[in-house]
Amino acid sequence: MSRVLSILFALLIFELIIVIHEFGHFIAAKKNGVRVNEFAIGMGPAIFKKQKGETLYALRIFPIGGYCAMEGEDTESSDNKAFCNKSPLRKIVIVVAGIVMNLLLGFTFLIVNTCLSDGITSTTVAKFYENATSNQTGLAEGDKIVSVNGMRIFSAIDLSYTMQNDADGVFDMEVKRNGERVKLTGVSFITDDSIHIDFMVKGVKLNPITVIDNAFHETISYSRLIYISLFDLVRGKYSLKDLSGPVGIVDQMNELIDSQTSTETGIDWKGLTQNMLAMGGFISINIGLFNLLPLPALDGGRLMFLIVELIRRKPVNPKYEGLVHFVGLVLLMLLMVVVTVSDITKIF
């Protein structure tokens, strides 16, 4: 049962993320006078089609994607409403719109998740556990943690990340204490296999301002962690085996469902919903920002060509640009195959 639910949740989240991304392109294209030939939800044979104006709207049988097909998007066209015939700035707006929509969707997921919480986890020390060491090495009750080892702390997510990704359990911190910033050196925590955080943080009551503020800062935290992870991958801290694709995400969702299920009460739907919203927010932000990378076949790659066009005041030869995107797409698909195989070997 949990495996079926995890697959359904994954399909729902990925389909929503993709459709919202394509909807961003669609709205921006329409606003900038570009002809959209088709806007489709799903892939494969159409189960519903309707022509409205110049655009064919279609619902297709397989819920594994979608697309916004613009006139002159990948080829030359004599139509003055074609994408290729618009100004570089208009094309840039259309390309970036999909990424913006993914970030807004992730932000929305985090707002709803926060609303379902009993309270917001802050970064202010409330009290220390018995046998704590951090209070003996500089940290005090009431301290609002501003940075750890030079990394700015925006949310509890950052605090958790910095604590879990350190080897010796000794940190340099900056805190806000009695309205002033104080620098602390050598704040230490007990470690064995992992670092033991020896303090509790204060909770923040929910209201419209605190909910939006928390979701905004969590969006910043997730955004930064994505690029930190990519940098760590490039410098060799992580390998391709540590990456997860759709199969790995389904497996993680399955574990989340199991963690929210008991033999006595069944599934804790509130807890499960919160976990899925948090994961959905992270995935949507992840996909949006990954798409921003200046790599062929991604929106970021197309954006780079448009910036070159803006500087040169003439477009790059579509033949060469198409070839670059094709090679990039092949490499991206190869990476997906490698990651998928790795995910499957982890499961079995």
Residues catalogued as catalytic: 22
Q: β-strand 180-188 against 199-204: which pairing, if any? A: unpaired
Angle at which helix 88-116 crosses helix 208-234, to 10 degrees, equals: 120
Residue 347: half-sphere exposure toward Cβ, Cα within 13 Å: 19
Secondary structure class of 78 (helix, strand, coil): coil
What does the radius of gyration of the chain's CA atoms come to, in whole angstroms? 24
- Kind plus residue range of the DSSP H or E element containing 33: none
Are 19 and 43 within 8 A, CB to CB? no
What the block records as the tokens of 64 is 């594994």
* DSSP H stretches of helix in the chain: 2-31, 88-116, 156-164, 208-234, 246-259, 269-291, 299-312, 318-347
**Residue that the structure tokens 């806007």 belong to:** 39
